[in-house]
Amino acid sequence: MKTFDYDLLVIGAGSGGVRAARKCAEFGAKVAVIEERALGGTCVNVGCIPKKLYVYASEYGAAWRDAKGFGWQTEQPQFNWDTLRDNKTKEIARLNAIYERLLTSPGVDIIEGHGTLAGPQTVVVGDRTLSAEKILLATGTWPAMPDIPGVDLAINSNELFDLPRFPDRLLVVGGGYIATEFASTFAGLGADVVQSYRGDLFLRGFDHDVRGFLAEEMRKAGVDLRFNHDTHSLEAAESGAITAHLSDGRLDFDTVLCATGRRPNIAHLGLEHTAVKLNDSGYLCVNEQFQTDEPSIFALGDMTGGWELTPVAIAEAMVFAESQFNNTPQTMDYESIATAVFSSPPIGTVGLTEEAAQAAGYQTTIYQSEFRPLKHTLSGRDERTLMKLVIDTPSDRVLGAHMVGDDAGEICQGLAIALKMGATKADFDRTVGIHPTAAEEFVTMRAPRD
């Protein structure tokens, strides 16, 4: 019988890789994690956590202005970029240490360096060659930059958190949730922001009414949204600025962020030494057990091209660990996964959009409500909230719930439980709301949209 250095080698210490390594070790496997950067992966270091901290920071300026309508008479506050950036860095370091303890406590070995596959059961890290019965790839994705002249003057989303100086003029190229979140956040922090997107409307894949409503609200909040718009090239200006040649003219910016998608982080991973296959979009092909075409190699998380969300990677890691090292075969349930876009105002969504439901053949009834939140009757802010329910007419089942407005993510997390349990519109109608809240609107909408 062949012996191995480890039962499981995990390449990548992001959310999915760490959870899989920890649980497999708790189930008795001998496990090592290989990571060339900081523990915690994209989410902890250059994604969810720092992004949400910056979103919080961006909300204080608007809240300060809102306060005048509630009787708070104070001078205009001053934002200090260095304080936010440095406090964020301290918090990330604290989380890195927690992730290290999560791994070492159950006995996982942490190996620093770049792991390269040398075969179906062999990984090379520096001058070390390690063997394992099973290998799990969890290296995530990496920002993709557009092919335009001068793009080397731009930065990607990984780099925006640690700029030495705050960008008073920011160009955001892209129309996905990352571009949209950063456009909102930096506008809230006080930057003049232009968001350039080549399509008709940003956030493709989200409900159309939600997309259009958010565009209106972001413009109210000061983001210069430009759709059907191109950034042709970038060049360095003598002033030290970056001159962007746009489809509607030239503008100077302090920073240009390209948030134009992400690609599987597989550079120098050594896939060519294995039977692992990629799909047409460049993501790793896996079955329901996250097994690749190489039987000993598995992959999960963003690099497999599914839901690119931290909680999904963690849930997949649990399925992998239970199936492979706890003799409890499972499969991942991807139905009714809730998500949020931390724009200003934020989006919360769970289930099918109106367009997806109709494309799937459902006969739908739509309930939709738009209103001014109670808070802004005194703040004076011209911000509105949108809520929408997509119902399967014959069964009365709620197929999708969508919201644009304060606390949308928090509210839709609760709605996700109801949708997961197969709640009907009648169930929503029988539920007594909490008054006065925005959330009660989801259980008081009675008239279908025309």
Q: What is the CA radius of gyration of the chain?
A: 24
Give the dihedral of Cα atoms 365, 340, 195, 78; nearest 10 deg: 130
CA distances from 101 to 18, 40, 87 (A): 11, 12, 22
Q: Tell me the residue type at 1.
A: M
What lies within 8 Å, CB to CB, of 77 at 6+ separation is 60, 61, 64
Q: What are phi and psi of 315, to 5 degrees?
A: -65, -40
Catalytic residue among 245, 268, 273, 435: 435
CA dist 18 and 13 (Å) reads: 5
Per the annotation, the verdict on 273 as an active-site residue is no
Q: Order of strands, edge to edge, in the sheet holding 255-258?
A: 224-226, 192-196, 169-173, 255-258
Of 447, 355, 449, the residue nearest 400 (C-alpha) = 355
Residue ranges in 129-222 assigned as alpha helix (H): 177-188, 208-220
Beta-carbon count within 10 A of 76 CB: 7
Distance of alpha carbon 265 from the chain centroid = 16
Query: Would you name the residues annotated as active-site residues?
Result: 435
